[in-house]
Structure 1
Amino acid sequence: MDIPVDAPTGLAMTLDPLVTRILAPNPSPFTYTGTQTYLVGTTELAVIDPGPDDPEHIAALVSAIAGRKVLAILCTHTHRDHSPAAAPLKALTSAPIIGCAPLSLADAGPRADASFDAGYAPDRVLADGERIAGPDWTLSAVATPGHTSNHLCFALEESGGLFSGDHVMGWSTTVVAPPDGDMAAYMRSLDKLMHRAGDRTYFPAHGEPIARPHRFVRGLIGHRKQREGQILRLLEAGTGTVPAMVERMYVGLDPRLNGAAGRSVLAHLIDLRDRGLVSEEGDAWKRA
């Protein structure tokens, strides 16, 4: 994977009068340039997706906070590239950990993202629509299950920004990996964002800000529908196993990502099965 050279880690970059971004030093084929932590506010702050428990990244966050009061440390979900820095940052700032519910899932299958953070311990879990506020900012929780069952986005009401975590990323499609990842829930969550009128910019955890978010989400929905159509056509042609589908659907894919692609195909198949369109026979699938 080629990582852009203009993606410096540890530097505080102002993206909006209320939004500062700090990139963690964890680039990979699964995180792109790394996980992006956001500081929201000017005099009193919220920290969104504190990132991995990496001393270099935590030091960069403390430097960017620059002695200001942190009112909340928020996590969109509990994959290990997003939430583990919450606990050490809480110890340094005394700020409560707020946001998604705890979720720790044993999963030995091939992933295309980080495993779950078993140590995540929030002081407060936000329900859909709940708000927290500082002197010049208001963040409301937007429940967006699919990538994980506990995924939240956070809407910045003052500017129309939406911190989209891994639900909508600026560099790649989102991983939906069973057993916790749920394609039907993911599609419902995308549709939910399509019906939100006030969001003007998405700030994803990976990749650049998304300036035309509804058009972008429409493209994601279309991509998933295309994948679904591919799977149904392959089943009609007699290709019935996940590895065989991956070989046909992901031509030229980095072999390191084959397992992850298989999880995505499986997520589609489970959704199609639950809708009565396909059936399962051992390791093989067929049209219902």
Structure 2
Amino acid sequence: MTDAPSPLPAWCRSIRADNPGPMTLDGTNTYVISTDAGAVVVDPGPAIEEHLSAVAAAAGPVVATVLTHRHDDHTGGAHRFRELTGAPLLARDPAWCVDGALPTDGATFELPGPRLRVVDTPGHTSDSICVVADDGTWTVLFSGDTVLGRGTTVVAHPDGDLGAYLDSLRRLETAVGPGCLLLPGHGPVRDDAAGVIGDYIVHRHQRLDEVRSALAAGARTARDVVEVVYADVDRAVWPAAELTVRAALEYLDDSAGR
């Protein structure tokens, strides 16, 4: 559990959960955003008591806890964190909301301090959202798992949808400008959010070309495609890669049917 080493605005702190792994990289990043009304916490993280207690201590009074998506490494500790802080839980999926509702897509939190705007970004999961914060000097994108600080994001069929994901990346490209910091759910802080998003779009289309090539060469199943396209990737992530390939195959089928 460490603070991110990259420079952050004075009103933002990052605390990393001690849950490293092939899918979580160095661990889940929890973010504490200070406002004049109290803290907004983005993704309390997994159910690790030491982590949740450290976040609560760093945050002080919490006015809202925002969940970027439903996955357990981001939400496993959400209800325990609510017990520690009493703060409402806000998410795009109403099933995760307690004592409040997330602002609608494009709307802002009515809080003094940095302007916090919600951007719906389905694709990684159907309920994925990001938050763009702007104080007039700093612009920061809290990207959850939609964009990572290192590597690329799993789009796991059937909840993950590649067409929606590509649309979300294009939306984010227009939502952030030059100099916007990327604060991802996993991996390091990046200085150029727009550049990383652009690289993600290029990468996804390259992967689609590789899937098409694998199919043309005789691949018949998602597993066949994984063995060709992800041959140089750690086999520990092949199950996740297979779900991503399934999402790609569905996307290609849908595109062919248009």
The residue that corresponds to 2:130 in the other structure is 153
* TM-score, normalisation: structure 2: 0.91
The residue that corresponds to 1:115 in the other structure is none
CA contact (8 A) 2:94 2:101 kept: no
In the TM superposition, 1:39-58 aligns within 5 A as 39-41=32-34, 44-58=38-52
Q: In structure 2, the residue corresponding to 1:161 is in which secondary structure?
A: strand
Q: CA RMSD in A?
A: 2.0
Q: Distance in 2 between matches of 1:12 and 1:238?
A: 45
The residue that corresponds to 1:173 in the other structure is 152
* TM-score, normalisation: structure 1: 0.82
Structure 1 unaligned segments of length 5 or more: list them.
Answer: 1-8, 104-119, 279-288
Q: Distance in 2 between matches of 1:215 and 1:276?
A: 30
Residue-pair matches, total: 252
Q: Distance in 2 between matches of 1:171 and 1:127?
A: 29
The residue that corresponds to 2:30 in the other structure is 37
Q: In structure 2, the residue corresponding to 1:124 is in which secondary structure?
A: coil
CA contact (8 A) 1:21 1:36 kept: yes
Q: Distance in 1 between matches of 2:15 and 2:110?
A: 21
Q: What percentage of aligned pairs have identical amino acids?
A: 37
Q: Determine whether 1:82 maps to 2:74.
A: yes
- Runs of 4 or more off by more than 4 Å in structure 1? 10-14
The residue that corresponds to 2:171 in the other structure is 192
- One-letter amino acid matched to 2:54: A
1:253, CA displacement in angstroms? 2.3
Q: Distance in 1 between matches of 2:44 and 2:248?
A: 31
CA contact (8 A) 1:11 1:60 kept: no
Q: Distance in 2 between matches of 1:127 and 1:99?
A: 10
- One-letter amino acid matched to 1:145: P
Q: In structure 1, the residue corresponding to 2:175 is in which secondary structure?
A: coil
In the TM superposition, 1:226-245 aligns within 5 A as 226-245=206-225
Structure with higher helix content: 2
The residue that corresponds to 1:20 in the other structure is 13
In the TM superposition, 1:1-288 aligns within 5 A as 9=1, 11=3, 15-41=8-34, 44-65=38-59, 68-102=60-94, 120-122=96-98, 123-158=100-135, 159-198=138-177, 200-276=180-256
1:12, CA displacement in angstroms? 8.0
Q: Which of the two has higher C-alpha Rg?
A: 1
CA contact (8 A) 1:10 1:57 kept: no
1:102, CA displacement in angstroms? 4.1
Q: Distance in 2 between matches of 1:94 and 1:33?
A: 28
CA contact (8 A) 2:181 2:193 kept: yes
Deviations 1:83-142 (A, max 9, x none): 132222222222111232146xxxxxxxxxxxxxxxx34331332012114332221110
Q: In structure 2, the residue corresponding to 1:28 is in which secondary structure?
A: coil
Q: In structure 2, the residue corresponding to 1:195 is in which secondary structure?
A: helix
Sort the Cα spacing of 1:57 and 1:197 in 2 relative to 1 into closer, same or farther, 3 A. closer
1:277, CA displacement in angstroms? 6.6
Deviations 1:193-217 (A, max 9, x none): 1122446111101011121122211
Structure 2 unaligned segments of length 5 or more: list them.
Answer: none
Q: Distance in 2 between matches of 1:135 and 1:150?
A: 27
